Structure 1
Amino acid sequence: MSRLAEFRKLEQQLAAQLAELESMKSDSGLKKEMEFESKLRALLGEYGYSLKNVINLLDPLAGRRAPAAQSQSSTRKPRQVKVYKNPNSGEVVETKGGNHKTLKEWKAKYGADTVESWLTK
């Protein structure tokens, strides 16, 4: 793509974003949200509170709860160690996943099915 074509493409994207920004500025819902935020921040400043203070007031257990993503990952069972032994060289590879360098080399050289037949555990 030529520099001129790239420039024109970026110029069009900018014009589209500016048009979207102008349409958002006239949105009454957005205006109400912005007004609410500014009043809330002014009120917080007036009383010397931060957003964390307000959250702790409204929901004292919020900071002590584990995030949903962490609680799900802790329920996943750990991967089992797999042991592959190359019958040609006698070399042994222990891995929990398939992203092992030597294992990848073996699969490229001998084929995945052959290497999987070398699985001992």
Structure 2
Amino acid sequence: MSILASYREKEELMRKLQDELRKMEENTQLKKELTFKQEIEAVLDKHQRSVKDLAEIFGLGQEAAKTSGRGNRRTRKLKVYVHPKTGERIETRGGNQKQLKEWKAEHGSETVEGWVVEERD
């Protein structure tokens, strides 16, 4: 593709994006949300507070910490398996590891669990 063709393609893309922006700016829901945001920012400025302060006041920081990640669920222990014949080593926190599944299918789950050489947090 030539530079001129690329330039024209980018120009067309920019025109389309500008049209989409104009349409969005006419959207009453967007206008309401922008107004709301500006009003909240004005109140925060008036009281010399930050968005972080607002989140703390409403307890949103704690909820976000609870919902993000694993919450109250404990992390599984890391298990290290070593195949006795090949010396191949697998470190995993769960049983959904591809090679581990293959070993368990071939040798049996109890046998493979006997190959655990180390468990750690």
**TM-score, normalised on structure 1?**
0.60
Deviation at 1:22, TM superposition (A): 0.7
Superposition RMSD in Å: 3.1
User: Among 57, 61, 64, which residue is 1:63 paired with?
Assistant: 61
Where in structure 1 do 4 or more consecutive aligned residues deviate above 6 Å?
none
Change (3 A) 1:49 1:3: same
Provide the aligned length of Structure 1 versus Structure 2. Answer: 99
Please tell me whether residue 46 in structure 1 is matched to residue 41 in structure 2. no
Change (3 A) 1:77 1:22: same
Deviation at 1:74, TM superposition (A): 4.7
Change (3 A) 1:6 1:84: farther
CA distance in structure 1 between the partners assigned to 2:56 and 2:72 by the alignment: 26
Deviation at 1:50, TM superposition (A): 1.5
Task: Give 5+ residue unaligned stretches, structure 2.
Answer: 93-101, 116-121
Per-residue displacement from partner, 1:49-103 (whole Å, max 9, x unpaired)? 22222222222xx33453434216955634532213565xxxx332226xxxxxx
Identity %: 23
Task: Map 1:1-121 onto structure 2 (within 5 A).
Answer: 1-59=1-59, 62-65=60-63, 66-71=65-70, 74-75=73-74, 77-78=76-77, 80-84=79-83, 92-96=87-91, 121=115
Higher relative contact order (CA 8 A, sep 6+): 2
**TM-score, normalised on structure 2?**
0.60
